[in-house]
């Protein structure tokens, strides 16, 4: 049976379609990408997010490390010393969580684990953001306690904590929930 080259190409495409469909993720977001392509894209996006968070944390942690060497540090009362120690602890934990994805990637790179690596690194990054939130709140508390010497510091920090939590967590979670609801329609 003779067929022209156009028909052979179409026939071959039809025969290859189930395999191609198996290799590609049928995604509701309209992306036509394999699991590995999706992992590569998500890894690139995560790296961009980490660059922002790591830079901010490096500046903040550098500030915290320098505070102890300032002359006024010895004038802090016991409560403020305790706040400082807890803040440095949060800062160190934050640095660990935000640099963790880099170490993870380096240790498993080339082992065929990119999708799993992206998922684990995403969890590390979210943990790092939670710890960064705690670090920022504690830094604000320490600074405002030293600056104001009264209970107004607590209320200002509480207000700022709510503000940051809204922008970092509440609004994104609301958007995620809304998108999920819209996709079920």
Number of other CB atoms surrounding residue 96 within 10 Å: 14
Return the structure tokens found at 37.
Answer: 């392509």
Task: Say if CB 94 and CB 131 are below 8 A apart.
Answer: yes
Supply the Cα-derived Rg of the chain in whole angstroms. 25
The pTM score is 0.78
C-alpha 110/C-alpha 2 separation (Å) is 47
pLDDT exceeds 80 at position 22: no
For the chain, percent helix, then strand, then coil, each to nearest 5?
85, 0, 15
Number of other CB atoms surrounding residue 23 within 10 Å: 12
User: What would the pLDDT profile of 71-120 be if each residue is shown by its tens digit?
Assistant: 999 999 999 999 999 999 999 999 999 999 999 999 998 898 999 999 99
Q: What average pLDDT score do residues 62-74 get?
A: 92
| HSE-up of residue 119 (Cα within 13 Å, Cβ side) | 6
The region that residue 3 occupies, defined by phi over 0 for left and psi between -120 and 50 for alpha, beta otherwise, is beta
pLDDT-derived band at 16, boundaries 50, 70, 90: very low
């Amino acid at each position: 049976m003779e067929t022209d080259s156009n028909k052979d190409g179409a026939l071959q495409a039809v025969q290859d379609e189930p395999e191609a469909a198996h290799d590609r993720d049928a995604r509701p977001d309209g992306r036509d990408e394999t699991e590995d392509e999706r992992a590569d894209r998500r890894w690139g996006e995560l790296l961009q997010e980490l660059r922002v968070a790591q830079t901010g944390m490096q500046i903040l942690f550098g500030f915290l490390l320098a505070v102890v060497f300032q002359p006024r540090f010895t004038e802090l009362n016991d409560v403020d010393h305790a706040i400082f120690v807890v803040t440095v602890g949060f800062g160190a934990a934050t640095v660990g969580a935000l640099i963790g994805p880099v170490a993870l990637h380096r240790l498993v790179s080339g082992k065929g684990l990119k999708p799993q690596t992206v998922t684990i690194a995403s969890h590390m990054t979210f943990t790092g953001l939670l710890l960064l939130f705690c670090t920022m709140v504690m830094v604000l508390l320490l600074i405002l306690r030293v600056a104001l010497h009264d209970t107004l510091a607590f209320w200002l920090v509480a207000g700022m904590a709510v503000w940051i939590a809204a922008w970092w967590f509440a609004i994104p979670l609301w958007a995620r929930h809304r998108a999920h609801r819209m996709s079920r329609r």
